[in-house]
C-alpha cells in the first residue's frame, strides 16, 4: 500500500473534524473493503481516520419495538445478540451469514452500508425492514439512503452513527451466494410490517431495490404461491461470469418465495 | 514390530511445528543485508515492447538495481529449458525460446519484463510502478479455439498455426476397423477445465552470492531442489553444481506447481552477484494467479465402440491441449505420455487411438497439476463408459465389470504401451458400491423427488500410472532426465538415524512415513529418526516429489539403503558374537545367532561401527552410512473406485454432494492416517474441479478469475464426510510393495461427481454439462432442455 497518515478518532466529532482537515481523508470502520483496496494500491488516501476507538458508535439497543444498532457494531455481535434474535430474528440471521467469521468479527454495519456494495447483505435488511439511518447530522430513510452502486445519500464527511430497525410482524432473508466470494448473487429480504409488505433485493442490480410488483402480490396474499411465476425484470440486472441477468431475475423469484415461506414457518431465513 | 512401524497411524511428526507457527518457509528466511525484488509484469496478453525506460524508477528512494530483458540478453545466458521433448507425427515439437525476462514481446498477462531491487519491498513496489514500459498491444489468442482459428494471432513465429506438436498413439486404421464391426458407438465431447493451482504458500525465493567462495545459494519454494539446480545451473545461468546450492525448506503445498523452474529463481540468482547482497521475492496472491503454471485445459472428442453385450471394441480420442504461452518444464509430456497411455483405464479395450494437438495461446503456461494427465484420461474414459451404459441400458457398474481387466490377468499389457503390474478392480468396485449403498439408490432418488430434488449417482473406476518413473522408458519417450531416487541412511554412533532423501515433503508427511519404515526395519524408536530433505548441500541427489513417487521410488531407495545397512551391521554383529555371518538374524533391533541365545543390540553394533576397537577392520570399513539410488522397474498402478451421490435443486441449479465413497488400492500402506488425509485432500480438489473451479480468460487474454472473489476454491462446507477405505494388492516390483496415493482423489473424483450430475439431470433431458458444473450452468441447461 501507499503511505498515508493514520489517525485514531476519539469521538464522532473528532472523526468529523479530522476527516474535514485531511486533504483526501477516508473514514475506516471495519476496513473489510478499504484495507484490501489499500493493499492492492487501488486507493491513495492522505489520511485514514479509524473509528475503531469511538465507543459511542458501538452497541445494540432495543426499545419501543425498534432495534438500534450502533454504526461500529460488528456483524458477529448482531448475529449473536439475544435481543436482536428476539425482536428481529431475520436480522440476526442475515448478519450471521455475512462473509466468514473473520469478516463478521471486524466488519461493521456502518461500514457496510456506507460502502453500499451492490452485493452486500445489510442494504437488503435495511430496505426490507424500512430502517432509518442515523448520522451525525440527520436521519435518512433507508429507501432514500442507497443511491446507486457504491453511492449513498451521505454528504462529504457525514458519519453514520446508528441504524434503527422497526420490528416487523414477520421477516426473512434468503441469499443465493456467489460460489467464490459468497457475496449475494441474489439476496431477497421480505418483511410484513405495519406499513405493508416490503421486498428488498440485493446482488441482482447495481444497487439494492424494492420489487414493488411482488410487494403488491403479497399484500393481497402473503404466501409463496402469490409469487408463482414472478421473476424480476432482467433488463437492468447484473451480468458477470457467475450469473446471467436472466438467472438473477429467476433467482429473485425463487429467493422471494423461499423468504415468504420462511416468514410463514416462523424461521429467520438463511 | 515396533509400535510406530509400518501400518501404524502415527500422528505426523512435522505437524507440531506447522500448527504452532514454527515452520520455516522461504519467506521466513531473512539474510543479512537483504534486498527485495518486485517484478514488472505485462498487463497485456500480447504486445510488442517498444521501450523500457527505467530512468525515473532508478532514481527513486531505496532502489538498488533495475534489470531488464535487454540486460539479461546482453550476457548471452540461457532461456528457461523444457525438460521433455515430445516427437509428433511431423517431427520434434516446436520449442520456442523462453527468456526469463521478456525482450521484445510479452505473451501473457503476468509475463515478466523487468526486476526492481530495492532496500525494502515497499520501495521496490513503488519503483516498479515507475518503470515506464511502452507496449504496442497486439491481438491475442486466449483459448485453444481462438489459437487454432484461421488467421489467429501467432504466439511464436516459429510455431505456425500455434501448433507445438501433433502427436498420436495407436494405429488409427486398426481402431477404425474395430469401429466398423461395432453394435453401438458412444460419442462424447468434453472440456477438461483449466485450473489455477493455488498452493496455500505463494511462490518465493531468496538468492545470495558469496564473493569469498563464489557460491550461489537459492532458497526457493520447490518440490525438487536438485532438479532446479540442474536446470538453472546447466541450462540457464551456466553455473557448476559445486557452486550452486538450492534449498527448498518447508513448502506450503505444491500440487505440481512448484515442480517447475521459474524465471524468478533464475533472475534472482543472476542478480544476486550483481548487487552483492541477498535478494528476496515473495509472490503476492494476484501474482500467483498469473505466473504459477496452470493445470488441465483440454478439449476432447471421444468415441467408444461396443458389441451387443457391451464389450468395448475400440476407443478413439481426439484431444487439443493448451500449453499456454511458453513450454513450462514438463508441459509437453502431460497431455501425451501421462494422458493417452492411461486411456485403457481398468478395461480390456483392445484397440485404442489417441491424437493430441498441443497449442500455444496467450495465457499462463500450463503444466502438471495434481494427477497431471491422468485426471484428464480418467475423465474421458469414465464419462464415456457411463454414457455408454446409459445409452445401452446396462447398469453402469455392470458394464464396467464386463470390461474389467480380470484379477488373474496381471501383468497386463494395454494397447497404449503400459504394463499394469497388479490390481483387483472387481474388489475395489464391490467395496465402493457397498460403502455407497448403491443398491439402495433408487429408493433415495424417489425420496429426493418427493422433496423436489433431483438425485444422481456416479461412478469413477480410475487407474493411474505413478511411481514415476523407469529412467530408460521415459528417456526413450523424450524425458531429458532420469527419474530414479536417492536415499542415504546415516546411522549415528549412538544408534539414532538421519535419513537424507531426494524427495521433498510439502504436505505429504515424509518426516513421519520414512521414519516409520526405518523404525520398522532397524527397531529404533521413531523419535530417534530424523528425515532431511530439500537441500542440495546435504542430500547426495534427488529428483523430488510429484507423480505419487515419493514412497514408491524414494521409499524404495530407502529400503535399498536399509538393506545395505543391515548387511553391514550383520557382519559387525557376526564379528562381535564370533559367529558366521550367515547365522545372524535381525529382528526388532536385535542381532541373534540362530540356534543360540547370543544377541547384540542395534545400538551396540552402531557404536562398534564408529568405535572400531573390536572390529574386522581388514575386511570392513568403519562407519554405518549407506546410500542407494533406486530406478524403478515399472510404473506403479494405483486404482480404485469412487462413488458420488448428489442432489440438484432444480430451482437454483445448486448441487449438494450428499455422499462420497472411495475404495482405493494403493498397495501396501505405511501410515493409514496419512493416506486417508491424502485421499480426502485429493477428493476435495477433484470436487473443486467438477463443481467450483474454472479459470476464465476473456477474449483479450485478461484473466477474469484472478482472485478469490471470482475463482472458487473448494471449502469445507462444499463437501460431506467421505467414506474411504482401501483394498490391497501389493506392488510386485518394488521392495515395499507400495503404489502411491497422493493424486488418486483428484484423478477419480471429477468423473464421479460429473457422472452423478449427469445421472441427476439426464431424466430432465440434459445431455451435457461441462465442468465446473456451477448452479448457473445447471439452471441454464435445465431451462434449455
What residues contact A261, with CB distance under 8 A and at least 6 apart?
A224
| Structure confidence by residue, pLDDT tens digits, B621-633 | 999 999 999 999 9
Distance from CA of A248 to the nearest CA of B (A): 9
What residues contact B333, with CB distance under 8 A and at least 6 apart?
B84, B86, B373, B477, B478, B479
- Region B17-35 average pLDDT: 97
Residue A26, strand partner residues:
A48
CA separation for the pair A159, A27 (Å, rounded): 8
pLDDT band at B785 (very low <50, low <70, confident <90, very high): confident
pLDDT for the residue numbered A196 = 96
- Cβ <8 Å between A254 and B705: no
Phi/psi at B654 (5° precision): -70, 140
Residue A241: which of B692, B710, B779 has the nearest Cβ? B710
Most B-contacting residue of A180, A181, A239, A251 (CB-CB within 10 A), to test interface: A180
Most A-contacting residue of B699, B709, B711, B773 (CB-CB within 10 A), to test interface: B709
| Residue B404 scores a pLDDT above 70 | yes
Residues B46 and B701 sit within 8 Å (Cβ to Cβ)? yes
The CB density around residue A194, as the number of other CB atoms within 10 Å, is 10
* Interface residues from chain B to A (CB-CB < 8 Å): 125-126, 129, 286, 651-654, 692, 696, 704-705, 708-713, 774-776, 779-780
- Cβ <8 Å between B779 and A247: yes
Distance from CA of B743 to the nearest CA of A (A): 24
CA separation for the pair B745, B740 (Å, rounded): 12
Q: Report residue B479 as a C-alpha cell.
A: 524425458
CA separation for the pair B244, B261 (Å, rounded): 15
How is the beta sheet containing A5-8 ordered, strand by strand?
Answer: A5-8, A47-50, A25-28
- Largest distance between two CA atoms of chain B: 86
CA separation for the pair B189, B197 (Å, rounded): 25
Q: What is the 3-class SS of B237-251, one letter each residue?
A: CCCCHHHEEEECCEC
Strand B485-491 versus strand B244-247 pairing type: unpaired
Sort out which chain A residues have CB atoms less than 8 A from B705's CB and list them.
180, 241
Residue B185, strand partner residues:
B305
Distance from CA of A166 to the nearest CA of B (A): 31
Q: B458, B482, B459, B418: which is closest to B637 by C-alpha?
A: B418
- Cβ <8 Å between B776 and A40: no
Nearest chain B residue (CA) to A239: B776
| Structure confidence by residue, pLDDT tens digits, B209-238 | 999 999 999 999 999 999 999 999 999 999
Residues B703 and B290 sit within 8 Å (Cβ to Cβ)? yes
| Structure confidence by residue, pLDDT tens digits, B284-298 | 999 999 999 999 999
Residues A93 and A269 sit within 8 Å (Cβ to Cβ)? yes
Sort out which chain A residues have CB atoms less than 8 A from B708's CB and list them.
180-181
pLDDT for the residue numbered B271 = 98
Distance from CA of B777 to the nearest CA of A (A): 9
Residues A169 and A264 sit within 8 Å (Cβ to Cβ)? no
Q: Say what angle helices A89-96 and A122-129 make with each other, to 10 degrees.
A: 170
Nearest chain A residue (CA) to B121: A1
Residue A247: which of B696, B711, B780 has the nearest Cβ? B780
- Cβ <8 Å between A179 and B709: no
- Region B634-663 average pLDDT: 98
A42–B contact, CB cutoff 8 A: no
pLDDT for the residue numbered B1 = 53
pLDDT band at B2 (very low <50, low <70, confident <90, very high): low
- Cβ <8 Å between A180 and B710: yes
pTM of the model: 0.97
- Cβ <8 Å between B776 and A242: yes
pLDDT band at B3 (very low <50, low <70, confident <90, very high): confident
How is the beta sheet containing B215-220 ordered, strand by strand?
Answer: B63-68, B112-118, B35-41, B279-282, B204-210, B215-220, B244-247
- Cβ <8 Å between A247 and B776: yes
Q: Report residue B289 as a C-alpha cell.
A: 494467479
pLDDT for the residue numbered A266 = 52
pLDDT for the residue numbered B596 = 95
pLDDT for the residue numbered A2 = 86
Q: Report residue B174 as a C-alpha cell.
A: 486398426
Residue A176: which of B286, B652, B709 has the nearest Cβ? B652
- Region B502-518 average pLDDT: 97
Cα dihedral B115, B116, B120, B121, rounded to 10, equals -50
| Structure confidence by residue, pLDDT tens digits, B758-781 | 999 999 999 999 999 999 999 999
Sort out which chain A residues have CB atoms less than 8 A from B198's CB and list them.
none
Sort out which chain A residues have CB atoms less than 8 A from B704's CB and list them.
241
A37–B contact, CB cutoff 8 A: no
pLDDT for the residue numbered A270 = 44
- Cβ <8 Å between B776 and A244: yes
| Residue B453 scores a pLDDT above 80 | yes
Sort out which chain A residues have CB atoms less than 8 A from B709's CB and list them.
180-181
| Residue B640 scores a pLDDT above 80 | yes
Sort out which chain A residues have CB atoms less than 8 A from B713's CB and list them.
180
Q: Report residue B711 as a C-alpha cell.
A: 475463482
- Region B534-540 average pLDDT: 97
Sort out which chain A residues have CB atoms less than 8 A from B779's CB and list them.
247, 250
DSSP letters spanning B46-110: SEEEEEEE-HHHHTSTTEEEEEEHHHHHHTT------SB--EETTEEPP-----SS-SSEE-STT
Nearest chain B residue (CA) to A179: B712
- Largest distance between two CA atoms of chain A: 57
CA separation for the pair A124, B446 (Å, rounded): 37
| Structure confidence by residue, pLDDT tens digits, B657-715 | 999 999 999 999 999 999 999 999 999 999 999 999 999 999 999 999 999 999 999 99
Interior/surface letters A148-167, b for 16+ CB within 10 angstroms, e for the rest? eeeebbbeebbbbbbbbbbb
Using CA atoms, how far residue B548 sits from B220, B238, B554, B744, B757, in Å, is 21, 31, 10, 9, 29
Distance from CA of A180 to the nearest CA of B (A): 4
3-state helix, strand, coil in chain A (%, to 5): 35, 25, 40
Per-residue tens of pLDDT for chain A, all 270 residues: 889 999 999 999 999 999 999 889 999 999 999 999 999 999 999 999 999 999 999 999 999 889 999 999 999 999 999 999 999 999 999 999 999 999 999 999 999 999 999 999 999 999 999 999 999 999 999 999 999 999 999 999 999 999 999 999 999 999 999 999 999 999 999 999 999 999 999 999 999 999 999 999 999 999 999 999 999 988 899 999 999 999 999 999 999 999 999 997 654 444
| Residue B648 scores a pLDDT above 50 | yes
- Region B576-591 average pLDDT: 96
Q: Is the dihedral of CA A82, A84, A87, A88 positive or negative?
A: negative
CA separation for the pair A247, A243 (Å, rounded): 6
Angle at B285 between CA B284 and CA B287, to 5 degrees: 65
pLDDT for the residue numbered A186 = 98
pLDDT for the residue numbered A265 = 66
Length in residues, chain A: 270
Phi/psi at B381 (5° precision): -65, -50
Nearest chain B residue (CA) to A255: B652
CA separation for the pair A179, B693 (Å, rounded): 10
Interior/surface letters B378-391, b for 16+ CB within 10 angstroms, e for the rest? bbbbbbbbbbbbbe
Amino acid at each position: 500500500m501507499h503511505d498515508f497518515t493514520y489517525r485514531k478518532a476519539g469521538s464522532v466529532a473528532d472523526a468529523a473534524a479530522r476527516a474535514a482537515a485531511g486533504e483526501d481523508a477516508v473514514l475506516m470502520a471495519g476496513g473489510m473493503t478499504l484495507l484490501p483496496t489499500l493493499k492492492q494500491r487501488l486507493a491513495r488516501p492522505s489520511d485514514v481516520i479509524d473509528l475503531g476507538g469511538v465507543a459511542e458508535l458501538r452497541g445494540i439497543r432495543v426499545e419501543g419495538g425498534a432495534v438500534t444498532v450502533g454504526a461500529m457494531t460488528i456483524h458477529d455481535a448482531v448475529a449473536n445478540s439475544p435481543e436482536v434474535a428476539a425482536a428481529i430474528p431475520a436480522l440476526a440471521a442475515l448478519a450471521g451469514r455475512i462473509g466468514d467469521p473473520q469478516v463478521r468479527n471486524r466488519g461493521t454495519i456502518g461500514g457496510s452500508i456506507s460502502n453500499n456494495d451492490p452485493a452486500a447483505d445489510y442494504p437488503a435488511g435495511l430496505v426490507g425492514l424500512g430502517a432509518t439511518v442515523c448520522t451525525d447530522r440527520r436521519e435518512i430513510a433507508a429507501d432514500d439512503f442507497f443511491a446507486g452502486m457504491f453511492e449513498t445519500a451521505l454528504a462529504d464527511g457525514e458519519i453514520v452513527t446508528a441504524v434503527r430497525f422497526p420490528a416487523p410482524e414477520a421477516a426473512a432473508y434468503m441469499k443465493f451466494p456467489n460460489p467464490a466470494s459468497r457475496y449475494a448473487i441474489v439476496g431477497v429480504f421480505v418483511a410484513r410490517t405495519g406499513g405493508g409488505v416490503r421486498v428488498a433485493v440485493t446482488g441482482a442490480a447495481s444497487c439494492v431495490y424494492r420489487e414493488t410488483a411482488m410487494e403488491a402480490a403479497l399484500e393481497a396474499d402473503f404466501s409463496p404461491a402469490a409469487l408463482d411465476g414472478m421473476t424480476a425484470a432482467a433488463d437492468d440486472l447484473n451480468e458477470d461470469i457467475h450469473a446471467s441477468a436472466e438467472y438473477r431475475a429467476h433467482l429473485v423469484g425463487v429467493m422471494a418465495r423461499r423468504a415468504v415461506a420462511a416468514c410463514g414457518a416462523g424461521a429467520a431465513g438463511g | 514390530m515396533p509400535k510406530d512401524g509400518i501400518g501404524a497411524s502415527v500422528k505426523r511428526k512435522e505437524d507440531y511445528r506447522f500448527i504452532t507457527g514454527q515452520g520455516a518457509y522461504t519467506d521466513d528466511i531473512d539474510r543479512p543485508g537483504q534486498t527485495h525484488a518486485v517484478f514488472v509484469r505485462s498487463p497485456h496478453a500480447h504486445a510488442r515492447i517498444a521501450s523500457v525506460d527505467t530512468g525515473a524508477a532508478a532514481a527513486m528512494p531505496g532502489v538498488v538495481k533495475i534489470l531488464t530483458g535487454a540486460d539479461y540478453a546482453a550476457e548471452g545466458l540461457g532461456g528457461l529449458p523444457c525438460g521433455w521433448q515430445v516427437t509428433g507425427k511431423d517431427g520434434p515439437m516446436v520449442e520456442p525460446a523462453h527468456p526469463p525476462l521478456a525482450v521484445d514481446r510479452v505473451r501473457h498477462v503476468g509475463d515478466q519484463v523487468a526486476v526492481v531491487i530495492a532496500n525494502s519491498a515497499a520501495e521496490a513496489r513503488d519503483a516498479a510502478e515507475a518503470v515506464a514500459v511502452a507496449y504496442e498491444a497486439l491481438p491475442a489468442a486466449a483459448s485453444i479455439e481462438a489459437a487454432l482459428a484461421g488467421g489467429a494471432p501467432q504466439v511464436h513465429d516459429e510455431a505456425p498455426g500455434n501448433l507445438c506438436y501433433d502427436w498420436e498413439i495407436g494405429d488409427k486404421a486398426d481402431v477404425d476397423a474395430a469401429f466398423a464391426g461395432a453394435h453401438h458407438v458412444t460419442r462424447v465431447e468434453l472440456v477438461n477445465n483449466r485450473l489455477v493451482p493455488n498452493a496455500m504458500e505463494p511462490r518465493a525465493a531468496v538468492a545470495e552470492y558469496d564473493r569469498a567462495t563464489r557460491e550461489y545459494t537459492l532458497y526457493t519454494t520447490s518440490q525438487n531442489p536438485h532438479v532446479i539446480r540442474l536446470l538453472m545451473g546447466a541450462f540457464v545461468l551456466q553455473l557448476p553444481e559445486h557452486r550452486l546450492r538450492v534449498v527448498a525448506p518447508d513448502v506450503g503445498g505444491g500440487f505440481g506447481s512448484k515442480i517447475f523452474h521459474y524465471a524468478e529463481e533464475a533472475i534472482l540468482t543472476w542478480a544476486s552477484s550483481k548487487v552483492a547482497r541477498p535478494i528476496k521475492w515473495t509472490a503476492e496472491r494476484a501474482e500467483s494467479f498469473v505466473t504459477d503454471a496452470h493445470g488441465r485445459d483440454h478439449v476432447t472428442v471421444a468415441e467408444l465402440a461396443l458389441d451387443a453385450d457391451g464389450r468395448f471394441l475400440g476407443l478413439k480420442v481426439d484431444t487439443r491441449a493448451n500449453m499456454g504461452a511458453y513450454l513450462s518444464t514438463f508441459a509437453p509430456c502431460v497431455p501425451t505420455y501421462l494422458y493417452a497411455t492411461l486411456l485403457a483405464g481398468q478395461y480390456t479395450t483392445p484397440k485404442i487411438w489417441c491424437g493430441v494437438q498441443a497449442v500455444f495461446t496467450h495465457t499462463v503456461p500450463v503444466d502438471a497439476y495434481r494427477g497431471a494427465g491422468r485426471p484428464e484420461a480418467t475423465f474421458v474414459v469414465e464419462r464415456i463408459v457411463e454414457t455408454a451404459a446409459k445409452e445401452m441400458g446396462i447398469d453402469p457398474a455392470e458394464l464396467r465389470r464386463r470390461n474389467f481387466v480380470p484379477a488373474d490377468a496381471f501383468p497386463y499389457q494395454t494397447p497404449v504401451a503400459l504394463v499394469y503390474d497388479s490390481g483387483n478392480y472387481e474388489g475395489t468396485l464391490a467395496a465402493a458400491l457397498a460403502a455407497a449403498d448403491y443398491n439402495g439408490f433408487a429408493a433415495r432418488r424417489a425420496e429426493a423427488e418427493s422433496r423436489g430434488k433431483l438425485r444422481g449417482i456416479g461412478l469413477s473406476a480410475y487407474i493411474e500410472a505413478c511411481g514415476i518413473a523407469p529412467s530408460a522408458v521415459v528417456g526413450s519417450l523424450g524425458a531429458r532426465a532420469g527419474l530414479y531416487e536417492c536415499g542415504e541412511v546415516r546411522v549415528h554412533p549412538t544408534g539414532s538415524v538421519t535419513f537424507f532423501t531426494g524427495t521433498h515433503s510439502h504436505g505429504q508427511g515424509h518426516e513421519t512415513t520414512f521414519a516409520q519404515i526405518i523404525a520398522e526395519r532397524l527397531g529404533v524408536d521413531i523419535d530417534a529418526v530424523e528425515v532431511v530433505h530439500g537441500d542440495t548441500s546435504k542430500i547426495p541427489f534427488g529428483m523430488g516429489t510429484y507423480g505419487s513417487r515419493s514412497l514408491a521410488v524414494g521409499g524404495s531407495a530407502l529400503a535399498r539403503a536399509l538393506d545395505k545397512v543391515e548387511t553391514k551391521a550383520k557382519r559387525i554383529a557376526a564379528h562381535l558374537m564370533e559367529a558366521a555371518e550367515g547365522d545372524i538374524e535381525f529382528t526388532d533391533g536385535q542381532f541373534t545367532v540362530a540356534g543360540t541365545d547370543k544377541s547384540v543390540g542395534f545400538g551396540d553394533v552402531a557404536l562398534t561401527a564408529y568405535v572400531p576397537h573390536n572390529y574386522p577392520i581388514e575386511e570392513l570399513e568403519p562407519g554405518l552410512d549407506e546410500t542407494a539410488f533406486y530406478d524403478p522397474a515399472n510404473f506403479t498402478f494405483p486404482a480404485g473406485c469412487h462413488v458420488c451421490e448428489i442432489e440438484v435443486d432444480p430451482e437454483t441449479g445448486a448441487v449438494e454432494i450428499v455422499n462420497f465413497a472411495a475404495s482405493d488400492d494403493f498397495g501396501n500402506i505405511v501410515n493409514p492416517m496419512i493416506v486417508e488425509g491424502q485421499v480426502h485432500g485429493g477428493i476435495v480438489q477433484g470436487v473443486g474441479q467438477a463443481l467450483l473451479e474454472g479459470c476464465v480468460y476473456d477474449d483479450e487474454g485478461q484473466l477474469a478469475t484472478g482472485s478469490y472473489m471470482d475463482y472458487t476454491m473448494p471449502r469445507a462446507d462444499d463437501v460431506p464426510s467421505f467414506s474411504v477405505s482401501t483394498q490391497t494388492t501389493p506392488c510386485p516390483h518394488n521392495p515395499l510393495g507400495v503404489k502411491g496415493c497422493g493424486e488418486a482423489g483428484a484423478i477419480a473424483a471429477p468423473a464421479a461427481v460429473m457422472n452423478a450430475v449427469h445421472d441427476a439431470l439426464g431424466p430432465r433431458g440434459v445431455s451435457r454439462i461441462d465442468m465446473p458444473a456451477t448452479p448457473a450452468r445447471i439452471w441454464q441447461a435445465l431451462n434449455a432442455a
